[in-house]
Amino acid sequence: MKSMRKIVSSRSKYPRIMGFLSSHIDYTKTKELIVLLAFRLGKKSNYGATLLNKALYFVDNIYYLKKGAPISELRYVKQEFGPTPDPALFLVLKDQLLDSNDLSLVESEFFGRIQKKLMANREPAWNLFSADEIAQIDEVVADIADLNGSEVSEFSHQFPAWQAAADREPLPFYTFLLSFKTPSDSDISWAMNEIKNVQSH
């Protein structure tokens, strides 16, 4: 059973090394994506860190697959319970959002286990996202919002990119295209033509 939520702190407990942030990149939209997903998922009793991590992964990778670029500046790595944002950047951004009181860190009991949740203290800046981006975010949320941490982790383990990678190895966006399906003759023909096109330039 789920117990009453207990606010832990809106301040970061562990300082991060700011050198992980590039001075040439604007992380505003990336932080707003974290706030947006926390805002969308926060009312779900099964919501926790694992669900947020997987939502970020699927949002960015599926959008990359459709549009050729992710929504955020996050990069992803393989971890034991599935793909997660690279902690080197994600933890810095998370601490900034906690320090600015845009997010709060909350603990709650869910079927005898303690869940740590990032809860949005405000609505996201919707104007930073296009209609296509919001539609993709909502599609991912609808697909995984009812899964608990174990279920969404198991689901993420089915993807070849996670299975093929070593622990903590980066998962570039193009690896989301990997498939266990045997390529057809037309697939092979297309690939050979693409190789020739690249080699000719």
Domain ranges of the chain: 6-199
Residue 170 clears pLDDT 90, i.e. is over it:
yes
pLDDT category at 11 given cuts 50, 70, 90 is very low
The pLDDT assigned to 37 comes to: 98
Mean pLDDT for 105-129 is 88
**Per mean pLDDT, which range of 30-34, 45-49, 140-144, 190-194 is the poorest?**
190-194
Mean pLDDT for 85-91 is 96
Residue 143 exposure: Cα atoms within 13 Å on the Cβ side: 15
Residue 92 exposure: Cα atoms within 13 Å on the Cβ side: 15
Q: 187 versus 166: which is more confidently predicted?
A: 166
pTM of the full structure? 0.81
- Secondary structure (3-state) at 167: coil
The burial of 160, by beta-carbon neighbours within 10 Å (0-12 exposed, 13-18 middle, 19 or more buried), is given as: middle
Mean pLDDT for 146-174 is 90
The pLDDT assigned to 116 comes to: 84
Q: 174 versus 13: which is more confidently predicted?
A: 174
Residue 182 clears pLDDT 80, i.e. is over it:
no
Residue 129 clears pLDDT 70, i.e. is over it:
yes
Residue 40 clears pLDDT 60, i.e. is over it:
yes
pLDDT category at 136 given cuts 50, 70, 90 is very high
